[in-house]
């Protein structure tokens, strides 16, 4: 077998010392499986269950004559759920591997089943984290939905036919076919489902799989819950389909055929089913899927590796529980169950009051989590959270951990309601509760020191030597009310501050004077407008060119800026109106209000060919860049910078890198997507570099990037 680099590995199997420990483990796993495959809500997270099941399997391998009756390792879906609908072909589970070495060993065992012959080709696809489902079509019409159940029989859930995206009621061709796949919830569907549940007096779902399982089986609700189906298999023998050509298709071609019929598949997503030639190719694709995991709007917990060809599949055969020609490569768990101990309330620089969950420490995707976001009070209420709850915490890639929901089946009665603040936690003022995000009634005045600190930070005005202790003194002595007042400070005023000598005062005044000359994007960032940051400030400044133009823009005009939608634009307009006195003070103090290098777009030509009106967004961006700066090296390109910069770019901050990209005609972005043209990957680039490689995006080192922009960096 080819050598492969070992990826991250899940926690080791539970070590079972003797038969008593084994039987106890079987009982724990059975209880967890009963909940997981029954109600969908288990008090044991996937990682803990996997470790327990691996321990059980290892003990059974060593003691084959002492396997307990009903061991979950011996049955499909742990043998928990049954139904009244028989599967004409068993609906099996998958075995698991957790490392490159284990995958290589599994592939070796498959080759031995093939008589020592190499597998003709592989297929790799995501292991979706949902509920297995069979969809039966007769003459092109969807007639029945059946859950996997125990693999032999399942439950009829045809009442959900109209609720599932990806399962059309009529195929594009009048085929008779049984399609198998996974039902799950996207992030938007999960949010909508919880809103409906809580509106109707039910508790919120703890996680998406819980939501899918419970919603699929519910028959008598007064509301409907939408879900999504992804097909990953079909019965291709002539007994079960009217299309005899399906039997000769490789797995990758079968998925393409199902897509053409109108069924939901992962085709068109970054994690689409992919054909691979060698096991090294397989492992690389597994890594790519892992890198893309955090960016998807549906959940996956691994990658599935299959022999692609039907001949290899047929020769390998199946066991009583799993096929021999496919396995699941499990990723480190992105969600775990832990205990919510407290909720802390903080106040941001704009006066927004934000809750944060304090958790029992738990390792999620390789990081120890003790805090997680709770978004806002309305979100806490919707999820029905209580102190002492066992909660599901989710984190994938670089995503900030969040609390998904409570595992209500684990409640003991000792849980306590979460107390919401009656007054502003910082200043004690009233709270504005008119929106879901609560805010101190004093707004920015409450976060006065924090707002000034933000304004003078490196990514904004970059006033060297102006730390928090000095800002606090300036505010406490009524020398400044906001950061605009910094530009009218005198030397004598500074010398009244503690530990402020002549040289320090002169240096600080010089730094403040330098701040007056910063480009518009830095000044706009310093304002701390809600919904904007350093990247958005740069886009706004590059689009409008002057503060006067920004202030004159209405919501419609602001929506023309990349990343500003219909919800954010009115907020920015309102914020700028509120900040008008501060901006006026900055203008009066002589602070720069222009974006260097800005050239207004050429006026529209009334005689221009109509074809120009239909040019693509990318073409329009490239044209604008060319108008502004000629043949700029990054014209029309979206660029992501990740990792530590080295070489000629070593001293540049992220904001300075973004400004450099903009001057070169490009657009700086913080996330890698299919629209990204270039990634600059420095030291310890991490998952963004992995994702760029997975999407086939060009990558450069900082030194190579500096060379490309030599005229701008010299």
| pLDDT tens profile 246-274 | 999 999 999 999 999 999 999 999 999 99
Written as six digits, the tokens of 413 are 């009665």
Degrees, nearest 5: CA angle 205-210-215 = 85
Among residues 64, 79, 94, the one where a domain terminates is: 79
Domains contained in the chain, number = 5
Neighbours of 224 (CB within 10 A): 12
Write out the residue range of the structural domain in which residue 709 sits: 618-714
CATH number at residue 507: 1.10.150.20
Q: How much is the pLDDT for 120?
A: 95
Residue of 344, 352, 347 lying closest to 372 (CA atoms):
344
Question: Quick one: average pLDDT of 106-131?
Answer: 95
Same domain, 33 and 126: no
pLDDT in tens, 152-178: 898 999 999 999 999 999 999 999 999
List C-alpha distances in Å: 703 to 682, 688, 713: 9, 18, 11
Q: How much is the pLDDT for 7?
A: 40
Q: How much is the pLDDT for 262?
A: 96
Same domain, 156 and 244: yes
Classify residue 508 by its DSSP letter: H
Mean predicted lDDT score pLDDT of the chain:
86
pLDDT band at residue 111 under the 50/70/90 scheme: very high
Same domain, 164 and 216: yes
Residue of 635, 658, 304, 317 lying closest to 459 (CA atoms):
658
Q: Which residues form the catalytic set?
A: 127
Q: How much is the pLDDT for 607?
A: 45
Same domain, 207 and 325: yes
Q: How much is the pLDDT for 444?
A: 82
pLDDT at 636 over 60: yes
The residues, ordered by sequence, that sit 6+ positions from 268 with a Cβ below 8 Å of its Cβ are: 259
Question: Quick one: average pLDDT of 597-601?
Answer: 68
Same domain, 411 and 320: no
* Helix, strand, coil content of the chain in percent (nearest 5): 40, 20, 40
Same domain, 384 and 290: no
User: Which class for 116: exposed (0-12), middle (13-18), buried (19 or more C-beta within 10 A)?
Assistant: exposed
Report, in angstroms and rounded to the nearest whole number, the Rg of the chain calculated over CA atoms: 30
Same domain, 342 and 410: yes
pLDDT at 689 over 70: yes
129 or 39, higher pLDDT: 129
377 or 365, higher pLDDT: 377
pLDDT band at residue 37 under the 50/70/90 scheme: low
Distance of CA 616 to the CA centre of its chain: 28
59 or 681, higher pLDDT: 681
Q: How much is the pLDDT for 397?
A: 60
Q: How much is the pLDDT for 34?
A: 66
Neighbours of 170 (CB within 10 A): 12
318 or 611, higher pLDDT: 318
CATH number at residue 353: 2.40.50.140
CA dist., res. 332 & res. 711, Å (int): 45
CATH number at residue 688: 3.40.50.10190
Same domain, 49 and 98: no
Among residues 373, 405, 432, the one where a domain terminates is: 432
Neighbours of 610 (CB within 10 A): 6
Domain membership of residue 169 (yes or no) is yes
Same domain, 138 and 198: yes
Written as six digits, the tokens of 147 are 């859950």
Domain membership of residue 551 (yes or no) is no
Q: Which of 73-87, 121-135, 290-304 has the lowest mean pLDDT?
A: 73-87
CB 310 within 8 A of CB 249: yes
Q: How much is the pLDDT for 317?
A: 94
pLDDT band at residue 11 under the 50/70/90 scheme: low
Question: Quick one: average pLDDT of 463-488?
Answer: 94
Question: Quick one: average pLDDT of 580-591?
Answer: 95
CA dist., res. 310 & res. 103, Å (int): 21
Neighbours of 44 (CB within 10 A): 20
Question: Quick one: average pLDDT of 13-40?
Answer: 71
Domain membership of residue 534 (yes or no) is no
CB 425 within 8 A of CB 347: yes
List C-alpha distances in Å: 304 to 127, 129, 139, 161, 301: 5, 12, 31, 27, 10
pLDDT at 598 over 60: yes
Of 323-332, 600-609, 630-639, 671-680, give the range with the top mean pLDDT: 323-332
Written as six digits, the tokens of 336 are 């775990």
Domain membership of residue 537 (yes or no) is no
CA dist., res. 594 & res. 577, Å (int): 19
Question: Quick one: average pLDDT of 72-76?
Answer: 62
Strand 131-138 relative to strand 177-184, pairing: antiparallel
660 or 626, higher pLDDT: 660
List C-alpha distances in Å: 425 to 354, 432, 445, 598: 10, 13, 14, 43
Same domain, 428 and 405: yes
Domain membership of residue 575 (yes or no) is no
pLDDT band at residue 304 under the 50/70/90 scheme: very high
Q: How much is the pLDDT for 150?
A: 81
Same domain, 242 and 370: no
Q: How many helices (DSSP H) and strands (DSSP E) are in the chain? A: 24, 25
Q: How much is the pLDDT for 615?
A: 35
pLDDT in tens, 210-240: 888 888 888 878 888 999 999 999 999 888 9
Question: Quick one: average pLDDT of 570-591?
Answer: 94
Domain membership of residue 598 (yes or no) is no
CA dist., res. 201 & res. 223, Å (int): 12
pLDDT at 398 over 80: no
218: left (phi over 0), alpha (psi -120 to 50) or beta: beta
| SS3 sequence of 210-256 | HHHHHHHHCCCCCCCCCEEEEEEEECCCCCCCCCHHHHHCCHHHHHH
Q: How much is the pLDDT for 74?
A: 62
Question: Quick one: average pLDDT of 344-356?
Answer: 90
Domain membership of residue 595 (yes or no) is no
Domain membership of residue 567 (yes or no) is no
pLDDT band at residue 407 under the 50/70/90 scheme: confident
Compute the half-sphere exposure of residue 714: CA atoms within 13 Å on the CB side of its CA: 5
CB 670 within 8 A of CB 663: no
Question: Quick one: average pLDDT of 601-626?
Answer: 40
Same domain, 148 and 246: yes
Of 43-47, 78-82, 514-518, give the range with the top mean pLDDT: 514-518
């Amino acid at each position: 077998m080819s050598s492969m680099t070992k990826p991250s590995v899940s926690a080791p199997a539970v070590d079972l010392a003797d038969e008593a420990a084994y039987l106890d483990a079987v009982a724990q796993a059975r209880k967890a499986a009963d909940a997981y495959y029954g109600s969908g809500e288990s008090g044991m997270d996937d990682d803990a269950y996997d470790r327990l099941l691996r321990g059980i399997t290892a003990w059974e391998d060593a003691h084959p004559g002492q396997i307990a009756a009903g061991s979950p390792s011996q049955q499909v879906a742990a043998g928990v759920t049954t139904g009244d609908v028989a599967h004409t072909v068993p609906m099996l589970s998958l075995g698991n591997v957790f490392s490159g070495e284990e995958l290589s060993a599994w592939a070796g065992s498959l080759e031995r089943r093939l008589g020592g012959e190499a597998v003709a080709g592989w297929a790799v696809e995501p292991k979706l984290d949902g509920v297995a489902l069979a969809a039966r079509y007769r003459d092109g019409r969807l007639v029945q939905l059946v859950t996997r159940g125990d693999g032999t029989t399942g439950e009829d859930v045809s009442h959900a036919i109209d609720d599932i995206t990806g399962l059309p009621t009529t195929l594009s061709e009048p085929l008779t076919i049984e399609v198998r796949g996974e039902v799950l919830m996207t992030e938007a569907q999960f949010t909508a489902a919880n809103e409906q549940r809580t509106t109707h007096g039910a508790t919120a779902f703890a996680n998406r799989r819980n939501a899918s399982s419970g919603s699929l089986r519910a028959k008598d609700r007064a509301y409907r819950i939408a879900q999504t189906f992804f097909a990953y298999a079909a019965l291709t023998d002539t007994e079960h389909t009217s299309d005899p050509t399906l039997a000769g298709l490789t797995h990758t071609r079968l998925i393409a055929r199902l897509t053409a019929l109108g069924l939901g598949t992962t085709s068109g997503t970054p994690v689409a089913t992919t054909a691979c030639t060698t096991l090294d190719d397989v492992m690389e694709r597994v890594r790519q899927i892992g890198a893309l995991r955090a960016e998807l709007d549906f959940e996956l917990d691994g990658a599935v590796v299959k022999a692609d060809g039907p001949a290899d599949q047929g020769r390998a055969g199946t066991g009583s529980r799993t096929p021999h020609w496919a396995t699941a490569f499990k990723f480190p768990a992105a969600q775990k169950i832990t205990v919510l101990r407290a909720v802390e309330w903080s106040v941001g620089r704009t006066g927004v009051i934000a809750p944060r969950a304090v958790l029992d420490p738990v390792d999620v995707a390789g990081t120890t989590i003790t805090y997680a976001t709770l978004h806002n009070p309305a979100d806490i209420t919707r999820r029905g959270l209580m102190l002492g709850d066992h909660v599901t915490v989710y984190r994938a890639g670089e995503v900030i951990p969040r609390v998904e929901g409570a595992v209500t089946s684990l409640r003991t009665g000792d849980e306590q309601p979460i107390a919401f603040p009656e007054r502003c936690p910082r200043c004690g003022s009233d709270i504005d509760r008119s929106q879901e995000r609560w805010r101190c009634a004093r707004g920015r005045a409450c976060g006065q020191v924090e707002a000034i600190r933000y304004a003078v930070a490196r990514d904004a005005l970059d006033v060297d030597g102006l730390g928090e202790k000095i800002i606090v003194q300036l505010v406490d002595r009524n020398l400044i009310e906001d950061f605009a007042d910094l530009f009218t400070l005198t030397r004598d005023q500074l010398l009244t501050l503690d530990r402020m000598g002549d040289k320090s005062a002169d240096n600080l005044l010089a730094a403040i004077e330098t701040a007056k000359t910063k480009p518009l994007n830095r000044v706009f960032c310093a304002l701390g407008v809600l919904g904007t940051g350093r990247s958005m400030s740069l886009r706004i400044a590059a689009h409008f060119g002057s503060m006067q133009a920004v202030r004159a823009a209405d919501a419609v005009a602001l929506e023309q800026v990349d990343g500003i939608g219909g919800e954010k634009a009115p907020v920015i307009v309102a914020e700028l109106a509120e900040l008008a006195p501060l901006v006026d003070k900055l203008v009066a103090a002589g602070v720069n209000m222009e974006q260097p290098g800005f050239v207004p777009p050429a006026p529209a030509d009334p005689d221009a060919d109509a074809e120009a009106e239909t040019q693509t967004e990318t073409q329009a961006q490239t044209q604008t860049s060319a108008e502004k700066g000629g043949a700029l090296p990054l014209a029309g390109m979206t660029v992501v910078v990740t990792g530590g910069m080295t070489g000629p770019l070593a001293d540049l901050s992220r904001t300075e890198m973004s400004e450099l990209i903009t001057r070169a005609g490009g657009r700086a972005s913080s996330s890698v997507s299919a629209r990204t043209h270039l990634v600059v990957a420095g030291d310890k680039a991490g998952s963004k570099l992995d994702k760029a490689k997975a999407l086939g995006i060009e990558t450069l080192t900082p030194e190579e990037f500096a060379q490309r922009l030599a005229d701008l960096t010299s």
